[in-house]
Amino acid sequence: MDGIQVLHIVDHLVEGRTKIVEFYVSRIRPELRAAVEAWIALKPLENPNTPAHPLVMPEYTRRVLDPSRTEVHRLEEDAEHQLRMANVANQTSDRYVLFTVLLASVLFFTGIAGKFDLGKARAALLVFAAIVLASVGVLLFATPVARA
């Protein structure tokens, strides 16, 4: 929006319509007005050393662009923090999915152990299922719970 307003002001300034320039300048926001007034005071039509347009004037960059850059930097840091938090939450959810699969395997091994006659195979499957169940139980209590 600032660029469009500056274009209108510069066009009318070049055409010598000072009343229209004054009209526009009096109605633009204060941050831009300070830069436009400072730029016009440098007599851009006569002075070749004048900056190309008001949006590169220190009055504008200091009051508009610098705070915006600071806000962008703060938002980028916040986004990085949120991304780290999301990655931690993703790892936690992956652990819970793994625990679900391991607990399903406990059910599977316990179920097929019943199909075997009493003996080493049945005992081995039940012992294996018990070890997996105990391991998942310990890991489950060590895994953080998501906070809303």
- Amino acid identity of residue 24, one-letter, is Y
Looking at residue 148, its pLDDT comes to: 60
The conformation of residue 118, written as its DSSP 8-state character, comes to: T
Looking at residue 138, its pLDDT comes to: 95
Q: Is 102 exposed, middle or buried (0-12, 13-18, 19+ CB in 10 A)?
A: middle
How far from the centroid of its chain's Cα atoms is residue 126's Cα? 49
pLDDT tens per residue across all 148 residues of the chain: 777 887 888 888 888 888 988 888 888 887 778 888 888 888 888 878 888 778 877 777 777 777 777 888 889 999 999 999 999 889 999 999 999 999 999 999 999 998 888 889 999 999 999 999 999 999 999 988 877 6
Looking at residue 52, its pLDDT comes to: 76
Beta strands in the chain (DSSP E): none
Q: Residue 38 and residue 137: Cα distance in Å, rounded?
A: 71
Q: Residue 142 and residue 145: Cα distance in Å, rounded?
A: 9
Whether the Cβ atoms of residue 71 and residue 40 lie closer than 8 Å to each other = no
Q: Residue 45 and residue 40: Cα distance in Å, rounded?
A: 9
Whole-prediction pTM value? 0.53
